[in-house]
């Protein structure tokens, strides 16, 4: 794997002015760090602004979620076909906040990943254990179950188009980052799970780490053998920090 990826998940943050600054920052980062693919995932209402602002650059845009249906009576929801129609190329699926707050089960996550793929969107599929699960030594079994359900629902052929993000729930937005060794251990496990199907799928699938990645810890994480970049929440809202994180992929 030679390329890296850094994804900015803005969550429910940002307005038009802030989006403008983040777009400029991402375009600068992309220009100075050729070997990284940068993806911005703004809230739905800012997608058009980000797509227009990034046109002509290599920065790509993604949604933060998609509905399981294509259209119809689903007030407040957005479908994969709508994201694709707007010019998105990616969509985050199964973020732990969607799983814990909005009922996205492993099966729903697998189905959403398949649906995204069918609309030409590259799903960025999040997996990861809670603090409770880690303390009970269940990290590997939880991640294995989550990844297995993706295989069952979407098929291994969804990779390498799909991207997997290991995001330990206890590290998201807490300032408590997984150590590089902890992250590498789970990334190695995920790579092995994909390898059951095909070595080339495993080698060519991007595995991102997410959970309190900051400018000062990104390099130590990205240097690990199976970590191909990051899914960044809080730090993606600061153009300087995001730029440093993108630079840190060049290790
Ligand atoms: C995330 O929301 O995907 C995330 C990793 O957040 P943070 O970087 O703020 O921990």
pLDDT tens, 141-184?
Answer: 999 999 999 999 999 999 999 999 999 999 999 999 999 999 99
Is 167 one of the annotated active-site residues of the chain? Answer: yes
In 110-240 the beta strands, taken as DSSP E runs, fall at 122-127, 163-166, 207-210, 229-232
Greater confidence, 180 or 250? 180
Cα dihedral angle (22, 122, 113, 65), rounded to 10 degrees? 20
Is the pLDDT assigned to residue 1 strictly greater than 60?
A: no
CB atoms under 10 Å from CB of 217, counted, come to 17
Q: Does ligand 1 have an atom closer than 6 angstroms to the CB of 210? A: yes
pLDDT at 196: 94
173 lines ligand 1 (CB under 6 A): yes
Closest CA to 66 of 38, 51, 88: 88
- My answer on whether omega of the bond before 160 falls inside 30° of 0, hence cis, is yes
**Separation CA 204–CA 1 (nearest Å):** 6
Q: Among this protein's residues, is 185 annotated catalytic?
A: no
Q: Say which of 97, 129, 133, 167 is annotated catalytic.
A: 167
As a whole number of angstroms, the distance between CA 104 and CA 32 comes to 37
Atom of ligand 1 lying closest to residue 175 CA: 10
Task: Report the pLDDT value the prediction gives residue 2, as an integer from 0 to 100.
Answer: 65
Tell whether pTM > 0.95. yes
Rounded to an integer, the average pLDDT of 24-28 is 96
CA-to-CA dists, residue 209 to 6, 19, 47, 206, angstroms: 9, 24, 24, 10
pLDDT at 127 over 80: yes
Domain ranges of the chain: 8-248
| Ligand 1 pocket test, candidate residues 13, 175, 217, 234, most atoms within 8 A of CB | 234
Whether residue 138 is predicted with pLDDT greater than 70 in this model: the reply is: yes
- Tell me the pLDDT tens digit for each residue of 180-235: 999 999 999 999 999 999 999 999 999 999 999 999 999 999 999 999 999 999 99
Q: Please check the confidence at residue 97 and state whether its pLDDT lies above 70.
A: yes
Domain with residues 8-248, CATH architecture:
Alpha-Beta Barrel (3.20)
Catalytic-labelled residue, pool 95, 97, 133, 187: 95
Q: Is 234 in the pocket of ligand 1 (CB under 6 A)?
A: yes
Atom of ligand 1 nearest to the CA of 97: 2
pLDDT bucket at 3, cuts 50 / 70 / 90: confident
Does the CB atom of residue 80 touch ligand 1 within 6 A? Answer: no
pLDDT of residue 18: 98
Quick: pLDDT tens for 42-96: 999 999 999 999 999 999 999 999 999 999 999 999 999 999 999 999 999 999 9
What pLDDT shows up at residue 106? 98
Residue 218 beta carbon below 6 angstroms from any ligand 1 atom? no
CA distances from 121 to 63, 103, 132, 217 (A): 9, 22, 33, 30
Provide the pLDDT for residue 34.
Answer: 86
């Amino acid at each position: 794997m030679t390329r890296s990826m850094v994804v900015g998940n803005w969550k429910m943050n940002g307005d038009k002015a802030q989006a403008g600054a983040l777009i400029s920052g991402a375009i600068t980062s992309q220009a100075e760090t050729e070997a990284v693919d940068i993806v911005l995932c703004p809230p739905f209402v800012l997608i058009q602004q980000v797509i227009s602002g990034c046109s002509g650059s290599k920065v790509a845009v993604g949604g933060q979620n998609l509905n399981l249906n294509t259209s119809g009576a689903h007030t407040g929801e957005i479908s994969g076909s709508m994201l694709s129609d707007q010019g998105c190329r990616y969509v985050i699926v199964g973020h732990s906040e969607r799983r814990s707050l909005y009922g996205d089960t492993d099966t729903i996550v697998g189905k959403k990943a398949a649906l995204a793929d069918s609309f030409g969107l590259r799903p960025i599929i999040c997996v990861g254990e809670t603090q409770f699960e880690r303390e009970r030594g269940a990290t590997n079994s939880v991640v294995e179950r989550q990844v297995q359900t993706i295989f069952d629902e979407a098929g291994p052929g969804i990779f390498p188009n799909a991207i997997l993000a290991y995001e330990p729930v206890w590290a998201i937005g807490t300032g408590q980052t997984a150590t590089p060794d902890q992250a590498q251990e789970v990334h190695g496990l995920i790579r092995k799970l994909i390898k059951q199907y095909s070595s080339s799928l495993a080698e060519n699938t991007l595995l991102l780490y997410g959970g309190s990645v900051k400018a000062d810890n990104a390099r130590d994480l990205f240097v690990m053998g199976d970590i191909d970049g990051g899914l960044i929440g809080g730090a993606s809202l600061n153009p300087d920090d995001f730029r440093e994180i993108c630079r840190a992929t060049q290790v």
